[in-house]
């Protein structure tokens, strides 16, 4: 049974890396599931406090990741239209022009939203840059958490 749980955990970890980039796959929660699968093997037993702290980190990163691109848009002078454009651009970018749409979608959406309000192109581009930077910050946070879980997983399998 341990081998099956370890294989499923490994699949979860690989999927979590993809989930760091694709918004429709929640990378850190999938990586946390891999840690839980490893916990249920005879190979390692994590403490309750470890599992709770890691769960809280995953929840916090997921919440922050949702708001960071919109916050970046707002911080760089974007309006509600830019924020909504960022969200729509993120979703549309995944389906309309993958794989580059994942990176460019938030930027293009925020710029488009700002241009619809009649803002100058330079201000719209500034808001789009905030959306892009916010998206990248969220992606880096997710990669960091998933990388940590991969490290923990491999470390406990080797020991």
Q: Per the structure, how many domains does the chain have?
A: 1
Range(s) of the domain holding residue 56 = 2-158
**pLDDT over 90, % of the chain:** 45
E strand or H helix that includes residue 33: helix 27-39
If pLDDT is split at 50, 70 and 90, which confidence band does 40 have?
very high
Map tokens 């700002």 to a residue: 114
Report the predicted TM-score, pTM, of the whole model to 2 decimal places. Answer: 0.81
């Amino acid at each position: 049974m341990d081998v099956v749980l370890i294989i499923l955990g490994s699949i979860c970890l690989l999927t979590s890396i993809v989930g760091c980039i694709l918004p429709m796959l929640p990378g850190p929660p999938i990586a946390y599931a891999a840690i839980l699968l490893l916990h249920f093997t005879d190979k390692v037993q994590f403490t309750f406090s470890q599992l709770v702290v890691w769960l809280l980190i995953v929840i916090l990163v997921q919440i922050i990741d949702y708001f960071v691109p919109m916050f970046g848009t707002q911080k760089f002078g974007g309006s509600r239209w830019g924020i909504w454009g960022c969200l729509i651009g993120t979703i549309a970018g995944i389906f309309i022009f993958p794989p580059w749409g994942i990176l460019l979608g938030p930027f293009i959406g925020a710029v488009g939203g700002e241009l619809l309000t009649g803002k100058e192109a330079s201000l719209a581009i500034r808001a789009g840059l905030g959306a892009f930077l916010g998206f990248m910050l969220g992606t880096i946070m997710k990669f960091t958490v998933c990388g940590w879980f991969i490290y923990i997983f491999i470390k406990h399998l080797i020991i």
